[in-house]
Amino acid sequence: MSNTNARRFDLICFDWDGTLFDSTAIIAGCIQQAVLDVGGARPTREQAAYVIGMALTPALARAAPDVPPQKYAELAARYRHHYFARQHEVSLFAGVLPMLADLRARGRLLAVATGKSRRGLDDLLAARELHGLFDGTRTADETAGKPNPLMLHELMAQFAVPPARTLMIGDTTHDLEMAQNAGCASVGVSYGAHPHESFDAYRPLAVAHSVDELHAWLIEHG
């Protein structure tokens, strides 16, 4: 067991979709369908997955550059329609609950910093198995979307933890860039929305290729 007095991080912030929640494929599909619904050209799977983690309107605008701004509200509504209809199909990655429980037992503060809406995150956090696992959460619609560092700044202020003692974990360049902008260290995961080769510019401490690998790294290095 690692020495908690020598631990490097006190606050560990997780992205949600593609990092803790196995939702990348469904979110990308819902983006594609929403764009078609409003008359746009269907984005590729890669184009749709790239915007995961961003605030909803900027994400959809980037995924559908041919859709005019006056249709953004309709586009967002169609995305929400498709996502909430399929939300029951997705779940936490295997190994996430044991990892979070172990980190809490080791005295870490745990938080979520996500591009989801507050409603969307709260619906998921209402699940019984997630009660009490997170000390704080921030969503893009209540602060600022990634890679703006505001949600990390707010979480660090809430718990009085400096950037040097804060770690951000995510599956996209938006997550890692947000950490960089906040002055925090980061770890990438390769099993979500973005190819891990794109992480290099943001200098993550590590890239984990599974939840078990992430858990092991956090025990040894976090």
pLDDT digits (tens, 9 = 90+) for 20-45: 999 989 999 999 999 999 999 999 99
- pLDDT over threshold 80, residue 211: yes
- For residue 201, the tally of other CB atoms under 10 A from its CB is 10
pLDDT of residue 163: 98
pTM: 0.85
pLDDT of residue 55: 86
Q: How far apart are CA 16 and CA 83, in angstroms?
A: 15
In the chain, residues under CATH classification 1.10.150 are 24-89
Give whole-number Cα distances, 82 to 17, 26, 78, 204, 210, in Å. Answer: 16, 9, 6, 33, 28
pLDDT of residue 129: 83
In the chain, residues under CATH classification 3.40.50.1000 are 4-22+92-221
HSE-up (13 A, CA, CB side) for residue 3? 2
First to last CA, the chain: 12
- Candidate from 100-114, 173-187, 188-202 with smallest mean pLDDT: 188-202
Average pLDDT over residues 128-154: 93
Is the backbone peptide bond immediately before 204 cis, with ω within 30 degrees of 0?
no
**CATH architecture of the domain with range 4-22+92-221:** 3-Layer(aba) Sandwich (3.40)
Among the listed residues 208, 207, 194, 162, the one whose alpha carbon sits nearest the alpha carbon of residue 54: 194
Distance of CA 207 to the CA centre of its chain: 15
pLDDT of residue 76: 94
* Residue with tokens 């078609």, as numbered in its chain: 36
pLDDT digits (tens, 9 = 90+) for 46-100: 999 899 888 889 999 999 999 999 999 999 999 999 998 988 888 899 999 999 9
pLDDT of residue 157: 98
**CATH architecture of the domain with range 24-89:** Orthogonal Bundle (1.10)
Question: Which helix or strand (DSSP H or E) is residue 11 part of?
Answer: strand 11-14
How high is the mean pLDDT of the chain?
92
